[in-house]
Structure 1
Amino acid sequence: MNLALFDLDHTLLPIDSDYEWGQFLCRLGAVDPVEFARRNDAFFAQYQAGTLDPVEYLEFSLGTLSGFDPVKLAALQQQFMDEVIVPNIRPAARALLQKHKDAGDLVAIVTATNHFVTAPIARAFGVEHLIAAMPEVSEDGRITGRLLGTPTQGPGKIEHTKAWLEKMGKTLDHFDAVYFYSDSHNDLPLMSIVSHPIATNPNAKLSSHASAQGWPLIHLFND
């Protein structure tokens, strides 16, 4: 049996779901558009440069979620899926996932983006297993703005993937092959320990590294 792991943003999606969620809130006027956009753009630039402090960013994004009651959040989440995410789910990404499902592989999405934003996206892709940054939720169902555990970014993806497998009584060594598809050099820690790292729509840093290592490079999107 094989394991197929997928990053989400710019890998299965041609957009960054976390960034687009912020833009969506700004367009609706659900947050202060000037201040939120300023901070969101700054964090996104840090992510692209590989200098992002994941805890600082997650506290910012989860803190935004904490300002809404669960009913309002659910409505916003559905509107975001309908207007932003579903139009960006491309046939090539679905086909790649389906190839691994048809082969009987265990499939999971491993993303640094928080679980609130990504859970409905994983469902839309038909992926049961999602490893994502977990927000703390109060007894009355409100997101508190705090992160549960450690971020699922960089080396954190290794930690959380191993913990997820351990719950099923497995390790990476249980699989004949372990694939990991990612667009970003931020994912080099996990890419470097799997048997089949695949640079997918790679950014310049990952493309250069993958070429030097002889890793496959694929492009799912034309834009």
Structure 2
Amino acid sequence: MTKKKLALFDLDHTLIPFDSDYSWGEFTIGLGWNEAGEFKRQNDAFYAQYKAGTLDIHAYCRFATSAVCRQGEEKSRAAHAQYMQQVVLPGIRANALALVRQHQEAGDTVVIITATNEFVTRPIAAAFGVPELLAIELERDEREGGTGWYTGEIRGVPSFREGKVTRMEQWMAERGLDWGTVHTTFYSDSINDVPLLEKADVAVATNPDERLRLMATERQWRILDLFA
């Protein structure tokens, strides 16, 4: 049986040379949606926890989406369009786009799987021409008389650490697939993604952090420096 080929990509520091959640937070400071000093302090602290592998993803998601929840859908989507034009699109590198296109042209199904929330990342995935996005899904206020907008809470399993494996398994099951019927290549920069890297048939440490670079060297995983 010919296995279905999947090319899985982390997003932040893998396909783009920055952290989209962090940079979106910085962008909201410029909009006056967050007070610069305190927000930056908390944002930096959460980012340090992420890099250290100790992040409470639920607490971070509430923090990261608080301004969007307050501002509402119309203002938030308009602001995100500005963010795409001013921050994201200028930061997308040609070689990252080419890598995605290479897999698509080979007939692989490309999936972006990220621990950043769907509000921030769906337009970024679209900019790469990737419709399949597994991001942190956000609950909406769907009570009678509710806003219909985000609450700041996570819906379902967060695509973070071991949760990326769970979300991939759910995605595959919905399509009648499992690990035995697919061939997966996973690109990631982060030590947080080791659970999914270990599941993949081909693990590619992409722009890896120091700990992942060491692990990749020890395990003889491919190392790819897109942003060198």
TM-score range normalised by the length of the shorter chain: over 0.9
**Aligned pairs, how many?**
221
The 8 Å contact of residues 63 and 146 in structure 1, kept in 2 or not, is answered as no
Give the equivalent residue in structure 2 for 1:77. 80
Residue 156 of structure 1 pairs with residue 159 of structure 2: no
Structure 1 vs Structure 2: percent identity of aligned residues?
45
Provide the C-alpha distance between the structure 2 equivalents of 1:65 and 1:97, rounded to a whole number of angstroms: 30
Cα deviation per residue 1:156-206 (whole Å; 9 max; x = unaligned)? 00001110111111112212x210000011100000011100000001000
Q: CA deviation at 1:68?
A: 1.1
Instruction: Tell me the amino acid that sits aligned with residue 213 of structure 1.
Output: R
Deviation of 1:36 after TM superposition, in Å, equals 1.1
Tell me the equivalent position of 1:198: 204
Kept in 1, the 8 Å contact 2:191–2:211? The answer is yes
C-alpha deviation, 1:138, in angstroms:
2.4
1:165 to 172, 181, 194: 172
Q: Tell me if the contact between 1:136 and 1:146 (Cα under 8 Å) persists in the aligned partners.
A: yes
Question: Does structure 1 retain, via aligned residues, the 8 Å contact 2:161–2:193?
Answer: yes
- On the 8 A contact 2:28/2:67 being kept in 1, the answer is no
Q: What is the aligned-residue RMSD (CA, Å)?
A: 1.0
**Counterpart amino acid of 2:199?**
I
Give the TM-score normalised by structure 2. 0.94
After TM superposition, give the deviation of residue 143 of structure 1 in Å. Answer: 1.0
Q: Conserved in 2, the CA contact under 8 Å of 1:62 and 1:135?
A: no
2:192 & 2:92 partners in 1: Cα distance? 23
Runs of at least 5 residues in structure 2 that lack an aligned partner in the other structure: none
Q: Which amino acid aligns with 1:172?
A: W
Q: Secondary structure of the equivalent of 2:70?
A: coil
TM-score (norm 1): 0.96
Native 8 Å contact 2:33 2:67 kept in 1: no
The Cα of 1:137 is off from its aligned counterpart by: 1.6
Q: Find 1:34's aligned residue among 29, 32, 37.
A: 37
Structure 2 distance, partners of 1:138, 1:28, is 24
